[in-house]
Amino acid sequence: MKTINKAIIFLMVLALTAVATPSMAIEHEFHGMFRLGMVGSNYSGSEGPDYFSYNGSGMFANTPDTGSKHRSTAFYLDQRTRIMYIAKIDEDLKLVTQFEMNARWGDTDYKGSSISGGGAVGSDSVNLRTKHVFLDYTFHPWDLDINAKLGLQYFGDNYKGVFFSNDAAAAIFSTNIGKTSVRLAFSRFADNGSTNYSGTTNYTGGSVNPYNTNGLLFGFNGTVLDADEGTVGAAYGDVSADLYMLDAKYKVNKDLTIGGSYYFLYSDIARKLYGVTESTLNGYTYHVKYRANVHMLGFNAQGRLGPVDVNGFFLYQFGKTVSKNISAFAANLGAKMKLGPGTIKAELLYMSGDDGNRDNKTNAFVAIGGECGYMVTGLQFLARDNLLISNRNSSLFYDNNAGQGMMLGWVGYDLPLTKKLTFSTNVGYGAVAKQNQNVVTSSGQNLGTEVNISFPYKARENFTIAPRFAYVFLGDFFNGLAENGQDPDDIYSASLVMLLKW
């Protein structure tokens, strides 16, 4: 017995000694961001969604003629904080975590768990959200350096986020072989009885909208499902929605890189839980009988032509979702170059849409609703605002515009005024590719034209203050959508954003 006790003591001392040696020392890294936005707008944060709202998008409503022509101007302050902690074991192994806290000043006090809260007097709230927890491990088989990221993390497509760009539980493997880089990824978006597909919610957890074509993700094309079905009784992995991604890029020379991809989005939720059913709502009949089985092929390139940096992509989708065969595409071209003392940038984006009038076919480009984000522009309304991104409702272009697709053109110019102060201006035009009168009775395809200016001032190396103003001349898409068949007022926003990063 004494021999056993001595052996145990010896092993404990040996373990403590090993932990205390420099070879086992853990390096601790902290990074973060704090952003405060002060906003005045007759759209973002304004009164009820009215004709602008579609499934939380801030675009338009299924029941027009109800919103006031003159919307009230909202004034609010919104803050977001992110804290990242990285435990670095060695050069090949680390644990990465990131947490987020949001609050709109005056929103609530002493509140339970929520995306935002604690901004009212009294303040205390539980709104600490876990964004990332993943293992970052590089291993070296066959003289290769293969990086694996396993867990809750950010990842997105190689196509500027038009298909998917957000946080998810995923396994991502990447490596370089000569001039070629390869990425293989898998993510489980939903599993079994989660509220992501219960009868009273759409897959994003919000209220069911009968025309939620973004519901293509889980294979129910906007169908209002029977309450409580699918919430219990399935084995893990038996009823799920999964995404598989394979990307490759090849560096042709110092001025040109080309890439290709194959993505596969699969969901058997509707097929397994609801069988062959149909439902009629507002005179429109929905069929739920097939799995979502979406394939996507992509090509992308970036390079330099003389003084111009150019990039672009082409995506083609095929397969089946619900009862419709898909044939859809998206294409993009971007450019940037020095012009005088400043820099000029431009983007063109097209996403195919569908009018919703065919029973078995659709040309609506499938975007993973609520979880994608085309944020490479300098626009604040027609595309997702890349600075105040906590408020996604400020975007007229939201995902695939309810299956109607998108035509977007944008040009911007950045002019340094001093070493710390820059003048930036952007102009953009947006329209839906196809009108779907089953979604909203729109008068035309034109969403509008946006003009904005900002003056980012770099007060410190990692601290920027930016006054901004944006105005949208609404297009004929919105004609007659206000109450009594009136045209809604144009929309605007004035904001002051302070951003600290470390």
pLDDT in the model for residue 51: 45
pLDDT in the model for residue 375: 87
CA-to-CA separations, 44 to 35, 41, 412, 447, in angstroms, rounded: 17, 6, 22, 16
Average pLDDT score over residue span 417-439 = 93
pLDDT in the model for residue 321: 72
Q: What is the pLDDT of residues 234-246, one digit of tens each?
A: 566 766 778 999 9
pLDDT at 200 over 50: no
CB 285 within 8 A of CB 279: yes
Token pair of 272 as six digits: 């397994």
Rounded CA-CA distance 145/147 in Å is 7
Indicate the pTM of the whole model: 0.83
Token pair of 383 as six digits: 């595309």
CB 385 within 8 A of CB 391: yes
pLDDT at 231 over 80: no
Token pair of 192 as six digits: 């079994």
Token pair of 259 as six digits: 């890439």
Question: Strand, coil or helix: what is 30?
Answer: strand
pLDDT in the model for residue 56: 41
* 272 confidence band (pLDDT: 50, 70, 90): low
Residue-by-residue DSSP string for 448-468? EEEEEEE--EEEETTEEEEEE
pLDDT at 270 over 90: no
**CATH class of residue range 26-224+249-501:** mainly beta
pLDDT in the model for residue 95: 97
Diameter of the chain by CA atoms?
92
Residue-by-residue DSSP string for 40-104? EESSTT-S--GGG-STTSSS--SS-S-B-SSPPPEEEEEEEEEEEEEEEEETTEEEEEEEEEEEE
Rounded CA-CA distance 230/239 in Å is 9
Rounded CA-CA distance 223/319 in Å is 19
pLDDT in the model for residue 42: 84
CB 75 within 8 A of CB 422: no
Those residues whose C-beta lies under 8 Å from the C-beta of residue 228, and which sit 6 or more positions away, are 198, 199
* 414 confidence band (pLDDT: 50, 70, 90): very high
Average pLDDT score over residue span 71-83 = 88
Query: Among the listed ranges 198-212, 218-232, 378-392, which one has the minimum average pLDDT value?
Result: 198-212
Among candidates 101, 99, 120, which has minimal Cα distance to 110?
A: 120
Mean of pLDDT over the chain: 79
pLDDT at 264 over 80: yes
Rounded CA-CA distance 311/335 in Å is 6
* 480 confidence band (pLDDT: 50, 70, 90): confident
pLDDT in the model for residue 24: 58
pLDDT in the model for residue 44: 78
Among candidates 337, 347, 382, 350, which has minimal Cα distance to 475?
A: 382
213-227 in b/e form (b: 16+ CB < 10 A) is bbbbbbbbbbbbbee
pLDDT at 220 over 80: no
Strand partners, 411: 346, 427
Average pLDDT score over residue span 386-403 = 71
Rounded CA-CA distance 291/268 in Å is 5
- CA 500, distance to chain mean position in Å, is 22
* 170 confidence band (pLDDT: 50, 70, 90): very high
Output phi, psi for 386, to 5 deg: -85, 5
Q: Which helix (H) or strand (E) holds 272?
A: helix 269-274
Average pLDDT score over residue span 179-198 = 73
Q: What is the pLDDT of residues 84-100, one digit of tens each?
A: 999 999 999 999 999 99
- CA 17, distance to chain mean position in Å, is 47
Rounded CA-CA distance 103/123 in Å is 9
Query: Among the listed ranges 190-204, 245-259, 262-276, 298-312, which one has the minimum average pLDDT value?
Result: 190-204
Average pLDDT score over residue span 274-283 = 51
Rounded CA-CA distance 32/318 in Å is 40
Query: Among the listed ranges 81-90, 138-147, 325-334, 398-407, which one has the minimum average pLDDT value?
Result: 398-407
Average pLDDT score over residue span 325-352 = 96
What letter represents residue 141's amino acid?
Answer: P
pLDDT in the model for residue 225: 37
Q: What is the pLDDT of residues 443-455, one digit of tens each?
A: 899 999 999 999 9
